[in-house]
Amino acid sequence: MNRITVTVLACLCLIIGLSGCSNSEKVEINTPAFLYNSSSNTGTSIEVSISGQYDKDNNFQGSLTIGGMEYPTILFKHGFGLIAYDKAERTILGLIFYDNETKDYSIHLTEGKLYGALQGDNSEGGTLIISSPAVDKEQAVEVHTRLTGLCTEFEHNEGLCSR
């Protein structure tokens, strides 16, 4: 190949690659959230914000703040791990169930440091769950139940459910 052909091909690859970036949607979520323990009858409101990009392949990349704890780089896909990155260090915060149409989410927290910070001395075992939008446990459980019932991409691709 001559130099001009290589340059044209490189430009086309760059244009095609950049056009893939425009297939993402900006996401900003600051709706009321409720934290509860699955083995308890109580819970509390909690400040949560999610900000980033949701792409055509149902991947989210952005930032997350939970109860004042900041995670500047997170990745997730509905029904899979909520992963925080700090340079080369990867931390799985838990599982996330997310509906991009409504921007509703439910997070099963499993990471020890975050779990301990949010649970405090009230460790009762069970799973800590944050659901939004919700202002009480009844609403949080409803959001959680609905979102965990949504089909994951894997289940859909395998014909195990329909969206």
The predicted pLDDT at position 117 comes to 85
The predicted pLDDT at position 40 comes to 82
The predicted pLDDT at position 22 comes to 55
Predicted structure pTM score: 0.79
The predicted pLDDT at position 115 comes to 83
One digit per residue, the tens of pLDDT, for the chain of length 163 reads 555 544 444 444 444 444 444 588 999 999 999 999 888 888 999 999 999 999 988 899 999 999 999 999 999 999 999 999 998 999 999 999 999 999 999 999 988 888 888 877 555 567 899 999 999 999 999 999 999 988 777 666 667 665 5
Say if residues 46 and 34 touch (Cβ distance below 8 Å): yes
The predicted pLDDT at position 127 comes to 85
Residue ranges covered by each domain of the chain = 24-157
Segment 49-55 long-range contacts (CB within 8 Å, at least 24 positions apart): 50/105, 51/27, 52/26, 52/27, 53/24, 53/25, 53/26, 53/27, 54/24, 54/25, 54/27, 54/100, 55/23, 55/24, 55/25
